[in-house]
A and B are shown apart, each in its own frame.
Chain A
Amino acid sequence: MAELKIPVDDEAVIRELKVGDFVELTGRMITGRDAAHKWLLEEPREDVAPYMKGTMIYQCGPVVRKNPDGSYVFVAAGPTTSIREEPYEADVICQYGLRGVIGKGGMGQKTLDGLGRCGAVYLHAVGGAAQVLANSVTKVERVFMLEEFGVPEALWVIHVERFPVMVTMDSHGQSLHRVVEAESRRKLEELLGLETL
Chain B
Amino acid sequence: MVDPDRLTETFLEMIRRASTELPADVVEALDKGREAERRDSLAEKALVTILDNVDLARQKVAPICQDTGTPVMWIHHPIGVSTRVLEKAMVDAVRQATARQFLRPNAVDTLTGKNTGVGTGRGIPFLHFEEWDSPDIEVRMILKGGGSENVGAQYKLPDNALGAGRDLEGVRRVLLDAVFQAQGKGCSPGTLGVCIGGDRVSGYEESKRQLLRPLPDVNPVPELAELEARVLKEGNELGVGPMGFGGRTTLLGVKVGVLDRLPACYFVTISYLCWAGRRAGVRIGEGGDVTWLS
Contacts and interface: CB of A to CB of B under 8 A. Distances in A.
A78 B241 contact: no
Given A106-B184, A184-B180, A129 B104 contact: no
A150 B275 contact: no
Contacts of B117: 150-151
Interface string A116-129: 00000000101111
A183 interface: yes
A132 to B, nearest CB: 5
Interface in B168-215: 173, 176-177, 180, 183-185, 187
Nearest to A179: B246
A75 B62 contact: yes
B80 interface: no
A188 interface: yes
Ranked nearest first, the 3 interchain pairs of A and B with the lowest CB-CB distance are A150-B115, A76-B66, A131-B56
Contacts of A149: 113, 115
A114 B15 CA distance: 42
A135 interface: yes
A83 interface: yes
Interface string B231-259: 00010011111011110000000000000
Nearest to B241: A180
Given A129-B52, A152-B115, 19 more contacts: A60-B66, A63-B66, A105-B185, A126-B46, A126-B243, A128-B53, A128-B65, A128-B275, A128-B276, A130-B53, A131-B63, A131-B64, A132-B56, A152-B104, A164-B49, A177-B183, A180-B184, A180-B245, A184-B238
Given A75-B62, A188-B177, A63 B115 contact: no
18 contacts: A61-B67, A63-B62, A64-B101, A78-B67, A106-B244, A126-B243, A130-B62, A130-B66, A131-B60, A132-B49, A152-B104, A176-B246, A180-B239, A184-B238, A185-B180, A187-B239, A188-B176, A197-B162
A158 B106 CA distance: 21
